[in-house]
Amino acid sequence: MLKIIKNKMEQGCKTSTYPKEPIALYHRYRGMPIINQDCNNDIVKQCAAICPQDAIDTADKTIDLGRCSFCGQCETIGDGAFVHFSEDFGIGAATRSDLITGGTLPALADHSKQHFKKLFGRSLQLRQVSAGGCNSCEADTNVLTTPFFDLARFGIDFVASPRHADGIHVTGPISKNMRQALMDTYNAVPSPKVVIASGCCSISGGPFHGSDEVVGDLGSLLPVDLYIPGCPPHPLTTLHALLQYFK
């Protein structure tokens, strides 16, 4: 007992003050890309050639955040001339096309479905389905329940049964071997329900795009309401997206 009290004193309260106060991530973190539209075409082509995810469109000078794994190679190779990844972690989007960006994203809060805000704004219960995910998306979703992020204080929880859920949160490129289980889980959630695609795998197949063992795109199976890009999305990206979209 004494040890518990001693440890509690030492640990103190570690819960983040976000979103009341802004939170700064370390400058090496790669969030929302800042794109230089005036960049020399040769550099853009060089960046596109090295991009392992083929996420860069050289004609429009855009990056598809749904494909991007945020490895940062395009920033290194062009020395930041074309793209620089900022520390802005708020990169969730309501439509797939919003993720193909020239450097800006529409404000997520304005694009969410209003009836979702009304239905789920005070209480949102999600069923997480890992469908071929590498476990980093899952792990960084799980940390939202740790004391630092403390997701439950916003009325958002991950639940064990799809019957208790308001929607599903899907990670992974949807391996063929998980397709049926994913659909079963979705069907077991009562309507109206939310579908969230988390991580570049569930949005575009991510690192596994092109593999014939994966479906590669959640949108081809289910109507996706909220996209959370990243490889994996930073916990704050997920938190930001959930708060903006549902609150």
Partner 1 sequence: MDNLLKIQNGIAVSRASIPELPYDQFFTTLSEFVRNDGFIVQFFAYKDESSHKLLAVLRNSELYVVGTKVGSSFQSLTRNVSEKFHMFEREIAEQFGIKPDGHPWLKMVRYHQNYSGQSDVFGNDYSHEIPGNYPYFKVEGDAIHEVAVGPVHAGIIEPGHFRFQCAGEEVLHLEIQLGYQHRGVEKMLPTVAQKRYPIICESIAGDTSIGHNLCMCQAVEALAGLSVDRGARIVRTIALELERICNHIGDLGALSGDVAFNPPAAYFGRIRGEFLNLLQVLSGNRFGKGLVRPGGTTHVMGEEQRHLLREKLTEITPEIEHVCDLLFTAHTVQARFEYTGTVAHERAKDLGLVGYAGRACNLPYDARVSFPCECYGELPANTNFVTNGDVNSRATVRREEIMHSLQLICLLIEKHEQLESAESAVHMQDHELIPDSFVVTINEGWRGEISHCLITDTKGKVQRYKIKDPSFHNWTGLAMSLRNQEISDFPLCNKSFNLSYCGFDL
Window 119-178: residues binding partner 1 (CB under 8 A): 128-143, 145-148, 158, 160-161, 172-173, 175-178
Instruction: State how beta strands 124-130 and 167-171 pair.
Output: parallel
* Strand ranges (E), 132-234: 156-158, 167-171, 194-198, 226-228
Per CB under 8 A, contacts with partner 1 among 189-208 are: 201, 206-208
The least CB distance from residue 110 to partner 1, in Å, is 29
Per CB under 8 A, contacts with partner 1 among 39-78 are: 50-53, 69-73, 76-77
The least CB distance from residue 215 to partner 1, in Å, is 10
CB 81 within 8 A of CB 39: yes
Question: What number of chain residues touch partner 1 (CB under 8 A)?
Answer: 71
The least CB distance from residue 6 to partner 1, in Å, is 7
Structure-token pair, residue 132: 């071929």
Per CB under 8 A, contacts with partner 1 among 226-245 are: 231-232, 234
25 contributes a contact to partner 1 by CB under 8 A: yes
What is the C-alpha to C-alpha distance for residues 175 and 208, in angstroms, rounded to an integer?
A: 10
* Strand ranges (E), the chain: 33-35, 56-57, 62-64, 83-85, 100-101, 124-130, 156-158, 167-171, 194-198, 226-228
CB 212 within 8 A of CB 183: no
Instruction: State how beta strands 194-198 and 167-171 pair.
Output: parallel
- 14 or 20: CB nearest partner 1: 14
- 57 or 150: CB nearest partner 1: 150
The least CB distance from residue 165 to partner 1, in Å, is 11
Backbone CA torsion sign across 23, 242, 120, 96: positive
Among 36, 39, 211, 247, binds partner 1 (CB under 8 A): 211
The least CB distance from residue 37 to partner 1, in Å, is 24
The least CB distance from residue 179 to partner 1, in Å, is 6
